[in-house]
Amino acid sequence: MKLRVRERLNRLQPLGFLYSAYETQLLAELDRSALPKHVAVLADGNRRWARMNAADESLVVGYQAGADKLKEFVDWCAHLGIGVVTLWVLSTDNLTRSEADEVAPLLKVIQSMVTDLAQSYRVQVVGDLSLLPDDMAGALRDAEKAAGGHDGIHVNVAIAYGGRRELRDAVRSLLASEAAKGTSLDQLAGTLEIDHISEHLYTAGQPDPDLIIRTSGEQRLSGFLIWQSAHSEFYFCEALWPDFRKVDFIRALRAYAQRERRYGR
């Protein structure tokens, strides 16, 4: 058995060398002046990956593989100098449609991943944390505070996130803020501008995503960053998220760099 494993590894070594050489070539050809400032990713396909790769089809295996890939993805972005990354790891639909015994192990994986990221990067949790267990919401906020002193890349982790819910929360926050100033609804209706809403989004003060990547062959936004994605470029990849490689990411960046962004002009 050990001999067979050794023989298999020996056969894979040349492929690994060729892959590394190809990755190096793609990086060398990448136009660094045309990289996005903000990349967002819908890391889709973890459960399908688990059903295909885990011997007992345990979904937690897919969740953990997906979390490991997300941490690797953030490292890739940091090394390329991309300033902001947004990772969508749990939607409000996931919470309302999935069974409790399926969500619980996913929550544990997410909490551990956020804690790990907070050790090296500025982490901001975006979403409606009131939908999460109190102990997890508290742990996420603690990790967020602990990460506040880091320089460099800013990592948004979208947990219990839904685009429509974000817009609802933004409008609620805006109304409450204006009411505290004594502004009437009639006055607000006459003076409300687009930027006023933007200032109350979860990502207020950040640049909108230039590039949004979705894996597993799905070609829809599913409510992700509805407001912020108005001028984003989209890249869809067939790979399931745990199988997403650095080469796939470089190809996405290359495709982005080759596009002409018109912003409606």
Q: Please identify every residue annotated as catalytic.
A: 44, 94
Task: State the pairing for strand pair 84-91/122-126.
Answer: unpaired
- Which among 63, 157, 84, 86 has a CA at the least distance from the CA of 118? 157
Q: Please give the order of strands across the beta sheet that includes 154-161.
A: 122-126, 154-161, 84-91, 38-42, 211-214, 233-236
Please give the Cα distance from 53 to 61 (Å, whole number).
9
Please give the Cα distance from 140 to 157 (Å, whole number).
10
